[in-house]
């Protein structure tokens, strides 16, 4: 794993704004709202929820203009969904792509309540000519020298999945401003950039949308000149609650020798989690952890644990998830220009006291 | 103002854990819980609120052991309090002290509900021999090579102030884990390190407490060998909501020429805010802003605004608060070893488009 050094002012400014989930919060199945990760491209917009309306237009048969109370009066669903930022792990790449410098904390699992997107699209009329839906947020800024509202598209097939939500509540309460109030998209299984916050409108289009966040950003490239593949679904990852107690500045950890239960969570947007392994020698040898019972919602992370016999010395703890497609976590990161989807195994250094 | 560069891995790890308040959230008089700043020395501890008790002991006449329901059944108070981290502004110092690298976001104003500390102390019996109260948290770690629970003391005189609270609710809801659940201290006017989270016990002592967070940390020193003065009350500061829209990476801002209302908040732990000035030329010339009506609670920040005529070009916006003691914000930071209490004026660079 590369060392991290020389973070720039720009990166620090982003790190000061965008919140990670301290890893001990992996103990909560439902991440408290204030501990859920946040990645906000521009500023949190100021929106009057009473005057706000969602506009659904473009190639639909019947354009809609919906108020928040229109949406609340529909049949609603609550679903536990694990969201992870596509840039999680970016600051562990070398050379380090300049953007939000996430280590491993850009994740959270919340209870989202809202209306299935499919229901709204069916009411608007899903014409055969529709290829994609474009989701436009109220947040506005400049990126790649282009002034823009944050805007992402999703194919009509993905948009019609039953688990895609237009969410107005998080953990049983109205969405907080920073999580997209009054309404946001939630697309389980995809990296977080897909779940557009502060929705303003949904536009049905007949061809692939070429906006900045689709064609320029969020693509896997080994060279900036490439077109690259789109970043889509979440690669498998497991994280553990770092055992022991930390040193304030270095975050290095100490604990006493003996048997400790190590716990964590694992998730994948490609398939169900089928295995989590644990190593206390930096990935040299591995033992299978126990998986908790599957979550009620397949869109949520899955708990895992292992009894660890800690003998004195310095130990490097690792965990590695494998999903039902056979996808697993690499020991070393794969590099790309944007620093996306680095799901290399977590390493936690612990000094075990005799 | 010094440039910021070369942030280390240790600093990034802290920045990824400790949350700042994005400055556009200055628009909310009551900071949403998830946007309030957080500085957590060790890990968020896991506490069973049902089994938890607060122990009040030491030199008191009648030691107490109080459950959360004991505390909730008492006469409670709700108070709006602005808290700021003593390290706010640290990353703008040169050379930069190595610790949590705050820029300007380590602040928030919340509604705290709880029991006046004074009431509990009076029940326990305030003996004349008591010099200080020691507040011990459940959070445990290593700092300065010493394993410790987070622990701070406060003089009996400050502890008996009517506005010091033992708080179990924030913004009308049970304290979130990261803000000190089930019970924390709130000491208005003092930097945040004083408001000990995750309280375990309060111990009355007959002399000055010499724990790490009092004698070693949180002292103003120009040289590490000095004893230094204790960091106590919050120096005056004002911040503005950065106008215009941001560029994603650089956070540089653009807006159109014309008249704009610039709004912000100001606070001081030394006295009431009496003046906020604004400059659009980097502090060369200043205009008086309008102060909003004083807050219901004198312990909360005060809103301010100004009509700004923005003419085309690059502008450096600054604001400067002065309080009733005459204390004001310096244009350049004063340096100290720990990087505390840097209340130098905010600078926001904006490109005004013609």
> B245 and B226, same structural domain?
no
pLDDT at B12 exceeding the cut of 60: yes
Distance CA A193, CA A176 (A): 18
Q: What is the mean pLDDT of residues B243-270?
A: 97
| Sign of the CA dihedral running A253, A258, A261, A264 | positive
Q: What is the pLDDT of residue B33?
A: 87
Q: What is the mean pLDDT of residues A154-182?
A: 98
> A288 and A177, same structural domain?
no
Chain A within 8 Å of B96 (Cβ-Cβ)? no
Task: Give B161-193 pLDDT, tens digit per residue.
Answer: 999 999 999 999 999 999 999 999 999 999 999
Task: Give A311-343 pLDDT, tens digit per residue.
Answer: 999 999 999 999 999 999 999 999 999 999 999
Please report which confidence band the pLDDT of residue A1 belongs to, taking 50, 70 and 90 as the band edges.
very low
Task: Tell me, yes or no, whether A2 lies in a domain.
Answer: no
Q: What is the mean pLDDT of residues B74-101?
A: 97
Is B4 within 8 Å of A15 when comparing Cβ atoms?
no
CATH number of the domain enclosing A265: 2.60.40.650
Say how many residues make up chain B.
354
Residue of B nearest to A33 (CA): B34
Residues 6+ apart with CB under 8 A from B229: B219, B220
> B57 and B167, same structural domain?
yes
> B318 and B274, same structural domain?
yes
pLDDT at A50 exceeding the cut of 90: yes
Q: Which residue has the tokens 């009350």?
A: B233
Is B142 within 8 Å of A251 when comparing Cβ atoms?
no
Say how many residues make up chain A.
354
Residue of A nearest to B142 (CA): A247
Are the C-beta atoms of residues B309 and B336 closer than 8 Å to each other?
Answer: no
What percentage of chain A reaches a pLDDT higher than 90?
98
Task: Tell me, yes or no, whether B309 lies in a domain.
Answer: yes
User: Which tokens belong to A351?
Assistant: 């000094």
> B311 and B193, same structural domain?
no
> A302 and A254, same structural domain?
yes
Interface of B with A in 191-250 (CB under 8 A): 242, 245-250
Can you name the residues that pair with B62 across neighbouring β-strands?
Answer: none
Distance CA B279, CA B287 (A): 6
Is A12 within 8 Å of B4 when comparing Cβ atoms?
yes
> B119 and B59, same structural domain?
yes
Mean pLDDT for all residues in chain A: 97
Residue of A nearest to B17 (CA): A22
Task: Tell me, yes or no, whether B4 lies in a domain.
Answer: no
Interface test with A, best of B2, B3, B11, B34 (most A CBs within 10 A): B34
CATH number of the domain enclosing A69: 3.90.420.10
Q: What is the pLDDT of residue A2?
A: 47
Q: Which residue has the tokens 């490239």?
A: A221
Mean pLDDT for all residues in chain B: 97
CB contacts of A40 in chain B (<8 Å) are: 22
Number of alpha carbons in the 13 Å side-chain half-sphere of residue B311: 2
> A40 and A21, same structural domain?
yes
Q: What is the mean pLDDT of residues A22-36?
A: 97
> A170 and A39, same structural domain?
yes
Chain A within 8 Å of B36 (Cβ-Cβ)? yes
Distance CA A263, CA A24 (A): 10
Task: Tell me, yes or no, whether B112 lies in a domain.
Answer: yes
Q: What is the mean pLDDT of residues A118-128?
A: 97
Please report which confidence band the pLDDT of residue B1 belongs to, taking 50, 70 and 90 as the band edges.
very low
pLDDT at B302 exceeding the cut of 70: yes
Is B248 within 8 Å of A16 when comparing Cβ atoms?
no
> A173 and A25, same structural domain?
yes
Tell me if residue A128 falls in helix, strand or coil: coil
Q: What is the pLDDT of residue B3?
A: 61
Report the predicted TM-score, pTM, of the whole model to 2 decimal places: 0.97
DSSP H or E stretch at residue B118: helix B117-124
User: Which tokens belong to A84?
Assistant: 């992870």
Lowest mean pLDDT among A2-11, A45-54, A165-174, B135-144: A2-11
Whole-number Cα distances in Å, B87 to A187, A262, B83, B249, B263 = 38, 33, 12, 24, 24
Q: What is the number of structural domains in chain A?
A: 2
Q: What is the pLDDT of residue B132?
A: 98
Domain end residue (candidates: B175, B196, B230) = B230
Q: What is the mean pLDDT of residues A36-61?
A: 98
Task: Tell me, yes or no, whether A289 lies in a domain.
Answer: yes
Task: Tell me, yes or no, whether B203 lies in a domain.
Answer: yes
CB contacts of B141 in chain A (<8 Å) are: 245-248
Domain end residue (candidates: B230, B253, B268) = B230
> B243 and B186, same structural domain?
no
Domain end residue (candidates: B230, B260, B280) = B230
Under 8 Å CB pairs connecting chains A and B tally to: 171
Q: Which of B12, B38, B147 sits opposite A15 (nearest CB)?
A: B12
Chain A within 8 Å of B341 (Cβ-Cβ)? no
Return the number of other C-beta atoms located less than 10 Å from residue A285's C-beta. 10
Task: Tell me, yes or no, whether B129 lies in a domain.
Answer: yes
pLDDT at A105 exceeding the cut of 70: yes
Domain range for B51: 9-230
Residue of A nearest to B19 (CA): A19
Number of alpha carbons in the 13 Å side-chain half-sphere of residue B232: 8
Crossing angle between the packed helical segments A9-17 and B9-17, to the nearest 10 degrees: 20
pLDDT at A5 exceeding the cut of 90: no
Checking phi first, is residue B68 left (phi over 0); if not, alpha (psi -120 to 50) or beta? alpha
Task: Tell me, yes or no, whether A3 lies in a domain.
Answer: no
Residue of B nearest to A243 (CA): B43
Q: What is the mean pLDDT of residues A68-96?
A: 97
Q: Which residue has the tokens 């690792």?
A: A318
Return the number of other C-beta atoms located less than 10 Å from residue B191's C-beta. 23
> B249 and B288, same structural domain?
yes
Task: Give A260-312 pLDDT, tens digit per residue.
Answer: 999 999 999 999 999 999 999 999 999 999 999 999 999 999 999 999 999 99
Q: What is the pLDDT of residue A3?
A: 61
Interface of B with A in 243-262 (CB under 8 A): 245-251, 254
Whole-number Cα distances in Å, B329 to B85, B94, B126, B341 = 16, 18, 38, 11
* DSSP strand pairing (A54-58 vs A273-279): unpaired
Task: Give A199-213 pLDDT, tens digit per residue.
Answer: 999 999 999 999 999
């Amino acid at each position: 794993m590369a060392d991290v050094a020389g973070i720039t002012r720009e990166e620090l400014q982003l790190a000061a704004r965008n919140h990670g989930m301290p890893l001990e919060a992996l103990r909560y199945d439902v991440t408290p709202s204030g501990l859920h990760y946040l990645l906000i491209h521009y500023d949190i917009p100021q929106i009057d929820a009473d005057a706000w309306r969602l506009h659904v237009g473009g190639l639909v048969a019947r354009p809609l203009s919906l108020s928040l109370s229109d949406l609340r009066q529909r049949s609603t669903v609550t679903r536990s969904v694990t969201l992870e930022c596509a840039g999680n792990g970016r600051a562990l790449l070398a050379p380090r792509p300049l953007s939000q410098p996430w280590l491993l904390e850009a994740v959270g699992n919340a209870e989202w309540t809202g209306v299935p997107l499919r229901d709204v699209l069916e009411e608007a009329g899903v014409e055969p000519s529709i290829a994609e839906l474009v989701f436009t947020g109220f947040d506005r800024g400049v990126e790649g020298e282009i002034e823009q509202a944050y805007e992402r598209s999703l194919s009509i097939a993905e948009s019609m999945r039953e688990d895609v939500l237009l969410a107005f509540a998080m953990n049983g309460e109205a969405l907080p401003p920073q999580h997209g109030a009054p309404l946001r998209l939630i697309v389980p299984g995809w990296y977080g950039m897909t779940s557009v916050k502060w929705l303003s409108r949904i536009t049905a289009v007949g061809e692939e949308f070429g906006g900045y966040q689709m064609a320029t950003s969020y693509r896997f490239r080994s060279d900036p000149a490439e077109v690259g593949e789109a970043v889509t679904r979440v690669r498998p990852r497991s994280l553990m609650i770092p055992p022991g107690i930390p040193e304030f500045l270095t975050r290095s950890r100490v604990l006493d020798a003996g048997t400790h239960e190590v716990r964590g969570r694992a998730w994948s947007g490609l398939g169900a989690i089928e295995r989590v392994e644990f190593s206390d020698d930096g990935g040299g040898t591995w033992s299978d952890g126990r998986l908790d019972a599957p979550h009620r919602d397949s869109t949520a992370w899955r708990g895992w644990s292992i009894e660890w016999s800690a003998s004195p010395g310095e130990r490097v703890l690792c965990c590695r998830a494998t999903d039902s497609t056979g996808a697993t976590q690499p020991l070393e990161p794969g590099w790309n220009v944007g620093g996306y989807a680095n799901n290399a195994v977590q390493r936690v250094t612990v000094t075990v006291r005799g």
